[in-house]
Amino acid sequence: MRLIAAASSRLGPRPTNQDAACAASWTAIVADGVGGGPGGDLASAAIVHRIAAGRLRVHDDIDLLGVLRVANWELRAHARRDPALSGMATTLTGLVVASDGRILLAHSGDSRAYRLRGGELTRQTRDDSFVQALVDSGAIAEQDAPTHPRRNIVTASLSGQADDAITVCPADARSGDRWLLCSDGVTDYLPEPALLPALTPGTPAEAADAVAELALAGGSRDNVTAVVCDVSPGEVGVREEPVFHGSAAERFAEPLDDVL
């Protein structure tokens, strides 16, 4: 299996873009600096680049979890070198094609993954957030979650701590699927039914642009990032370089050793 992936990342009304994204035949990733806090752009970019650089070491879900643990340790190292970065954190939602042929899904925080199959769009991740816990407990209705005043409080993220929670599992993905990975700058401002018409036509690049434009037109007050990928038969590109977006395009721009 391989991915035909593209991304679109927009600054929106924020002064800096703390979203990061990557698109390649072996991975599609979105990460979002948490809460606009210190170093959010660095945190999201560092995580995305580490996953992309570690692709040749991902043979299964255990290997991917190991790559993510190393990436998370590097966030802690950044903060130790520069106390101004203390508290930086990022969400992560990504697909990775392992060498055993499976497509793996990694998730922490409130960035989301959706799968479009047979005309039906279904969410494939559960938000790690205070508001999601309220929805799960029945305290609030799901339709009220996007406007809840505490909707931006995440209960899991990558921040360099040993107890940071991240889920890695095989994705329910097959040839012909289209996936959307996006930051909450999309989902806080667009109801899920509005995503379907933007995702259905065109190439992944056209769909990613359409989702981003729709979120901005919907009044998004955050950075907006959408990664769209089609699952296709075939092999991943052995020497292909990934395409980075958002903060990942601005930081750590050196070539990746594992790709060259």
The DSSP secondary structure of the chain, one letter per residue, reads -EEEEEEEEE-TTSSS--EEEEE-SSEEEEEEBGGG-TTHHHHHHHHHHHHHHTGGG-SSHHHHHHHHHHHHHHHHHHHHH-GGGTT--B-EEEEEE-TTS-EEEEEESS-EEEEEETTEEEE-----BHHHHHHHHTSS-GGGGGG-TTTT-BS--BSS-TT---EEEE----TT-EEEEE-HHHHTTS-HHHHHHHHSSS-HHHHHHHHHHHHHHTT--S-EEEEEEEEESSPPPSSPPPEEEEHHHHS--SPPTTT-
Residue 259 has pLDDT above 60, yes or no: no
- In this prediction, residues 99-121 reach a mean pLDDT of 94
Does residue 200 contact residue 135 with C-beta atoms inside 8 Å?
no
- In this prediction, residues 125-130 reach a mean pLDDT of 85
Structure tokens at 71: 């990436």
Please name each of the domains of the chain with its CATH number. Answer: 2-120+157-250 (3.60.40.10)
Residue 176 has pLDDT above 80, yes or no: yes
Query: Sorting pLDDT into bands at 50, 70 and 90, what band is 213?
Result: very high
Residue 39 has pLDDT above 90, yes or no: no
Predicted confidence (pLDDT) per residue in 183-193, tens digit: 999 999 999 99
Predicted confidence (pLDDT) per residue in 41-88, tens digit: 999 999 999 888 877 678 888 899 999 999 999 888 888 888 888 888
- In this prediction, residues 206-219 reach a mean pLDDT of 96
pLDDT value, residue 68: 92
Does the global pTM surpass 0.95?
A: no
Residue 225 has pLDDT above 90, yes or no: yes
Residue 257 has pLDDT above 60, yes or no: no
Question: Where is average pLDDT lowest: 3-17, 43-57, 120-134, 144-158?
Answer: 144-158
What percentage of the chain has pLDDT greater than the value 90? 57
pLDDT value, residue 20: 97
More confident residue, 133 or 115: 115
- In this prediction, residues 201-220 reach a mean pLDDT of 96
Question: Where is average pLDDT lowest: 50-59, 138-147, 207-216?
Answer: 138-147
> Hey, which of 37-41, 78-82, 124-128 has the most confident mean pLDDT?
124-128
pLDDT value, residue 158: 93
- In this prediction, residues 203-207 reach a mean pLDDT of 97
| Mean pLDDT over the full length of the chain | 88
